[in-house]
Amino acid sequence: MRITIFGTGYVGLVTGACFAENGHEVLCIDVDSDKIARLQTGEIPIYEPGLDTLVKENVKRGQLRFSTDGAAGVRHGTLLFIAVGTPPGEDGSADVRHVLEVARTIGSCLNEYKVVITKSTVPVGTTFRVRDTLRAELLKRSETADFDVVSNPEFLKEGAAVQDFMRPDRIIVGVDAPRARELLKEAYASFIRNHDRMLFMDITSAELTKYAANAFLATKISFMNEMAQLADTVGADIELIRQGIGSDPRIGYHFLYAGVGYGGSCFPKDVRALIHLMRSAGMEPWIVEAVERRNRRQKTVLFDKIRQHFGGVLTGVTLGIWGLAYKPHTDDLREAPSLNLIRDLMAAGALIRVHDPAAMAGAHALLGDPPGLFWSRSPLEALEGADALVLVTEWPIYKSPDWSQIATTLRSQVVFDGRNLYDPKRLAQAGFRYYGIGRKVPA
């Protein structure tokens, strides 16, 4: 099939590359000419395992092309996916102006049947606004071209997005036209040969499914973080509690890990957008708002533990921080807990040495080179002369360190484990003072 993707950000680029890999002819459109020029030479603007290979191979085969010409994109594809950003507004609502700009571009060129698909995460009703925008543009031109609109929200996990797209656990399609439904089935047929994972529903339900899914996962994270605080208070161990409740098949083990709070491009934005949507509908978002409040509080927990350990005075204290990205296998720093922590620590007078396998350049662009912030080339270099190790992101490179080497590198044997990655008993036996999130430390 001939497919056009409007937007070459995280969702658009993964979607385009994966469709091309499965034999479709894909044209990706973006207004950023510099980005398009880089993509045409094989330079990938984001870090996502496996994506660079997919893009380069399919560009070479001619299955995947890039352009800034919106009209060419409309001519090319029978399926036109809108995958542009929907950044949060000041009130928490999702800003859909870029989505509607693409709709205007499509409407200004439309002269034959197309299916226009919202792949971006958008508030309920946006796909109908896209339909109305298309109709208005056709009316301006006295054109009567036929089209259908579809909601097809993405469910990609950063760090595993290619795998998620190639082997989806579900494909949600909000559609009210049989012709469009059959075309979407054809587009996704090669991804679901072993088992039909396409779930068809009305457009409004599809849009809300995306928000409900992310808000529910965020709720599990915030719930476990709250239980971890209680465990710290009463002397329980959140890891044992996780195993105890996760063994219940009605609950399961996924997203039951306490930590330093969620970040990234989806959960924070989508939770706030859902709060705004519920208020707009005349509802009080009791649960979802509590999730958001808990997460804001959680991003300060590690700082509080560090400050308490050092007697409330952090001036001159050197801390080696492992991990900057909001999660492993990505360079995404949007709402990353590490940034809050570093800024709070430096404001309190601490000296910071940081390391991350993928997010150093992005963090440097955000934080700069203030006095007292050192960018380390290796995990061990980040600990040289440090008074404590602070783990913020659970990258595989940090999972099994040489503790004897760390003990001789640090000035004092203290570990703040923001992801409960390490065994408190083992570290205690090795002579370390250990602080986790809701972990019970052996006496």
Catalytic residue ranges = 266
392's tokens = 């913020």
State the maximum Cα–Cα separation within the chain, in Å, rounded to a whole number: 79
Cα separations (Å) of 249 from 71, 147, 255, 258?
51, 44, 14, 19
Cβ neighbours of residue 350 closer than 8 Å, sequence gap 6 or more: 306, 314, 315, 316, 317, 318, 319, 372
Expressed in angstroms, the distance from the first to the final Cα of the chain is 64
H or E element in which residue 320 lies: strand 318-322
User: Are 77 and 2 within 8 A, CB to CB?
Assistant: yes
Residue 111 sits at the vertex; the CA angle it makes with 105 and 113, to the nearest 5 degrees, is: 100
- Quote the CA–CA distance of 417 and 424 in Å, as a whole number: 9
- Quote the CA–CA distance of 231 and 195 in Å, as a whole number: 42
- What are the residues facing 28 on neighbouring strands? 5, 66
- Quote the CA–CA distance of 420 and 435 in Å, as a whole number: 9
Cβ neighbours of residue 50 closer than 8 Å, sequence gap 6 or more: 162, 163
Cα separations (Å) of 315 from 152, 349, 373, 381?
51, 4, 13, 21
- Quote the CA–CA distance of 109 and 80 in Å, as a whole number: 12
- What are the residues facing 352 on neighbouring strands? 319, 373
User: Are 419 and 391 within 8 A, CB to CB?
Assistant: yes
Residue holding tokens 């270099």? 381
Half-sphere exposure of 441 (CA within 13 A, CB side): 19
Cα separations (Å) of 372 from 202, 347, 365, 369?
55, 11, 16, 8
42 residue type, one letter: G
Output DSSP code: residue 442: P
